[in-house]
Structure 1
Amino acid sequence: MSLPRFDYGAQVRLIRNVRNDGTYPGMETGALLIRRGAVGCVYDVGTYLQDQLIYRVHFLDAGRTVGCREEELIPAAEPWIANLYEFRDPVQASRALAIGGEVVVSKGQAGSIEKVLRDLPHGIEYHVYFDNGRTLQVPEHSLAPLLSGGPQHGH
C-alpha cells in the first residue's frame, strides 16, 4: 500500500458525488451526502480491507464528516469547474440541436441527465435522454433547467 497523498489538515476537493452506502447514520442508502466540488479538510486517514486508503474528510458547509477514497479527492487549490447538472436532473434544450443539419431536438424539448462528462478539453458535456427517445451528448451551454410544469418554450 502506498503512502497517503493527503495529510491531516489538508484542504481537499471532492471530484465525485458521494452517496450513502448504508454506513452513514440517519440517511437512506443512496442519498446524496456530499456533492462533487465540495471542499473539506482531512480529519483522519485509515485503511479499509487493509489495502484501501480512506480519508475522513470534514465538509464544514454541509456539517458532515464522510469517508472518501483517494481517487475521489484532489487538492482544493487545483483548478475546478463546477457542473450545473447531475444524474437524473430534468433539463431542456436551450436551442435546437441538430445532427448533420437535421434538427433532432427542438428548443425547449425536455430531457434528463444520464451522465456527466467532466474531463473533456472543451468543457463539461452531458449525455441527455430527451423525451423524444433520443440520447445526445450535449454541451452545458445548450441546456437549461426544466422548471416544473414541463418544457419552457422561448420566444
Structure 2
Amino acid sequence: MLPQFEYGDEVRLIRNVRNDGTYPGMDTGTLLIRRGAVGCVYDVGTYLQDQLIYRVHFLEAGRTVGCREEELIPASAPWVPNLFEFRDTVRTTRTLAVRGKVLVELGQEGSIMKVLRDLPDGIQYHVHFGDGLVLQVPEQTLMMAETEMAEVADE
C-alpha cells in the first residue's frame, strides 16, 4: 500500500468533506471543506491498516482535515468548478417548461440531487422540485437560495 501523494504535494478535494464526529468543535455533519478546494499534504497515515489517510492543510479555510486517497487528485489535474453541491437549496432564474408546459416557475426552490460534471454542454444538475419532480437543469438557470447564502456566510 504505497501512497499516491507525499508530504508537500498540492492536492484538490473532489468530494465535500463533512465532520464525521472526529473534527473538534463542530457538529457532526457540518461541511468542513467544499469540493474543489486545494490543500497541501501534511502527513500520510493509515486507518484500520487498510486505508491511507492524508492529513491535508487547506490554507484558505484554515483547516487541516483527514482525507482518503479516493477523495483527492493532484492540484494540477484538470478541474471544472461547479457552483452547487448535493443537498444545496437552489432557486430557478427562469421558468422551466417541457414541450410548452410550465413545470417550474421562476424563483421556485429545489434541492440538488446530483452534479453532472462531464457533459459537453457544461455542468448540469438533477434538481428535486417537490412532488417527485426531478429535472436535469443547466447551471446557468440556478442560483443559491437565500437561506443557503446566509448559512455559507456564517461558516
TM-score category, normalised to shorter length: 0.7 to 0.9
Structure 1 residue aligned with 2:60: 61
Measured after TM superposition, the shift of residue 28 of structure 1 is: 0.7
Question: How far apart, in 1, do the equivalents of 2:143 and 2:31 lie?
Answer: 22
Structure 1 or 2, whichever has the larger Rg, is 1
Structure 1 residue aligned with 2:85: 86
Runs of 4+ residues over 6 Å off in structure 1: none
Question: How far apart, in 2, do the equivalents of 1:120 and 1:66 lie?
Answer: 30
Measured after TM superposition, the shift of residue 38 of structure 1 is: 0.7
Is 1:135 the counterpart of 2:134 in the alignment? yes
Residues 109 and 131 in structure 1, CA contact (< 8 A), matched pair in contact too: no
Question: How far apart, in 1, do the equivalents of 2:105 and 2:55 lie?
Answer: 46
Calculate the TM-score normalised by the size of structure 1: 0.85
Unpaired runs of at least 5, structure 1? 149-155
SS at match of 1:141: helix
Question: How far apart, in 2, do the equivalents of 1:18 and 1:121 lie?
Answer: 27
Alignment of 1:53-132 (within 5 A): 53-131=52-130
SS at match of 1:92: strand
Measured after TM superposition, the shift of residue 123 of structure 1 is: 2.2
Measured after TM superposition, the shift of residue 126 of structure 1 is: 1.4
Aligned length: 147
Measured after TM superposition, the shift of residue 105 of structure 1 is: 1.5
Unpaired runs of at least 5, structure 2? 148-155
Structure 2 residue aligned with 1:28: 27
Question: How far apart, in 1, do the equivalents of 2:3 and 2:100 lie?
Answer: 51
